Structures are given as C-alpha cells and as structure tokens.
Amino acid sequence: MANQDSSKTVFLALSVNFFIGVIKSFVAFITSSSAMFSEAVHSFVDSFNQFLLWFGIKQTKKSNPKLYPFGRGREEYFWTLVVAVLIFTVGGLVSLEHGIEALSHPKELDNLYISITILSISILLETYVLIKAVKKLRGNKDKKSILKLLKESNDGPLIAIVVEDFAATLGLIFALVGTLLTYFTNNSIYDAISAISIGILLMVSGIFLGYEMKHLITGETVNEDVYKVVENALLNEDKVKEVISVKIVSIGTNKYLGIVKVDYLDSYTDLEIVDLNKRVQEIVKTTDSRFSHLYLIPA
C-alpha cells in the first residue's frame, strides 16, 4: 500500500511539472528570460526524473526469486540515484551555464508581467505537490523535522519527490524575485543571477539526494526504534538467555531484512527453539509489518 501511495505521489508530481514546463517554455521564448528558461529546464528534468521513479517502482513489483531472492526493492534506489545525477548535471549545470551566459551578455527582456504571473501560479502548484509529498513522508511522526525524516525514510521515490519539489518551489521563488527586480529596475542582471542561483540549488539538491541513496544502496542500518521491536520480542521470552547481535537493513520501500544471533538456554531442545523462533517472527511482523525477512540464528 505504501508503494502504491508513492506511485500516486510520483504521478501527481510528473503531471504538474510537465504542464508547468510547457507553459514556462512558451513564456521563456516570448520574454527572453534566463530565469524562466532555467525554470523550464528544471520542470522538464523533474518530469523525466519522475517518470524514472515511476518506472523504478514498477520494476520492484516484478518477482524472480531465483535471480532476486530478497526481491527487487532496492532497484528503486538505483533509479533514484540516476535521478540525482540528472538533477545535478542536466538541471543544475545547464541552468548554471545559461545564467552565466546571460550575465556575460545581458539582453533586454520583454513581457515580464507574463513571467511574474506564470511564476506566481507555478509556486502555488508546486507548493501543493510539496505539501502532499511532505504529508506522505511525515505520516504520524509530527514531531520530527523534515530533514530527519528524509534521512530515516527508506522510500527512495518519495525522498526524491520531496527533494525535487522543495528545490522546485524554492527555485520558483528565486526566479520570481529575479524577475520582479528586473521588471522594476529594468536591469537584466537580476534575471541572470536568479538563473545562476537556480542552477546552484539544483546541484546541491542532486548531491543531497545522491548522498541519501548511496546509504540505502550500500545497506545502511535502520533507526534504533526498529531494533527495539526485535529485541523486546526476544527478551520477553523465558527461553532466551541473551540477544547477541541484531542486524537490520532496508531492502526496499518499507521492507526490512533482519538477521539476529540469539543465545538460548541450554535446557531447551531444538524443536522448542524452532517453535520459539516462529512465535517471535510472528510477533515482530505483527508489530512492524516492514519486516519481510527475519532470521533468528542460534549463537
């Protein structure tokens, strides 16, 4: 269900960004605005990125136990990493280059009132998508900051949508400020500076997203609350002498793989330990449904 919700959020963002990208391209053409051009590139890059995220979600649903014994959940992280690279290169570098070019060779801008109107509407649309994505990311964790939630989440596509739409909303604000300053001062340097700012913003966003995906791809451990679920279930059993080690990693959106080494009391038989393990596995999976695989190994 969580995966399905992420898919809907991705599709919503794709639709909004593609629509905005078409409008921005038209406005950039009739106004010669570098900031609007950067924003058009930004929207189309985001649209393509969101298509890749949607494709990644679809790939994770394909099952081939012989090739992928733990499923293809981590494939989402690969496609999200590709998205991070595209944000940095295509989005960030192209916008930065265009802004520097506009700064070096300033030109007169026309019909800026159209840009101001379109940018204002775009901010409202992107803010709506961002609010939806943040609400999905937050869930019931109202007290945690967005940055901490991004670092704790193992939903690659959702992380990408939040990062992209935050960058999109902030980039639109940069573009609007630059366009307003250009409109009132009749100096196109502000338009060029806003385009450069958008490029830098996209590059920083790409680096942050790539950094987060690197952790998920390489098997970063989950937060301590998940460990407590396993440890409490085991320590409540009289047959368990000690929990030697607990290792839990993410293998996809809301999917955990847990390997636990347990020291059982010597007086219990192998059959009793097998029954205990089954009971503990059921308790853990009932408490936290994200455990798709949990292995209890005698020490």
User: Is there a contact between 42 and 202 (Cβ–Cβ < 8 Å)?
Assistant: yes
Spatial CB neighbours of 299, under 8 Å, sequence gap ≥ 6: 242, 244, 261, 262, 263, 264
Q: Mind giving me the DSSP string for 255-294?
A: EEEEEEEEEE-TTS-HHHHHHHHHHHHHHHHHH-TTEEEE
Domains of the chain, first to last: 2-217 (1.20.1510.10), 224-298 (3.30.70.1350)
CA 205, CA 87: separation in Å to the nearest integer? 7
Spatial CB neighbours of 213, under 8 Å, sequence gap ≥ 6: 77, 80, 81, 84, 156, 159
Q: What is the pLDDT of residue 227?
A: 92
User: Is there a contact between 14 and 133 (Cβ–Cβ < 8 Å)?
Assistant: no
In three-state secondary structure terms, 251 is strand
State which residues of the chain have pLDDT below 50: 1-3
Q: What is the pLDDT of residue 2?
A: 47
Which residue type sits at 179?
Answer: T
- Measure CA of the first residue to CA of the last residue in the chain; give whole Å: 36
Q: What is the pLDDT of residue 247?
A: 93
**Two tokens, residue 68:** 């992928």
Q: What is the pLDDT of residue 142?
A: 66
Total Cβ atoms within 10 A of residue 183: 16
Q: What is the pLDDT of residue 83?
A: 92
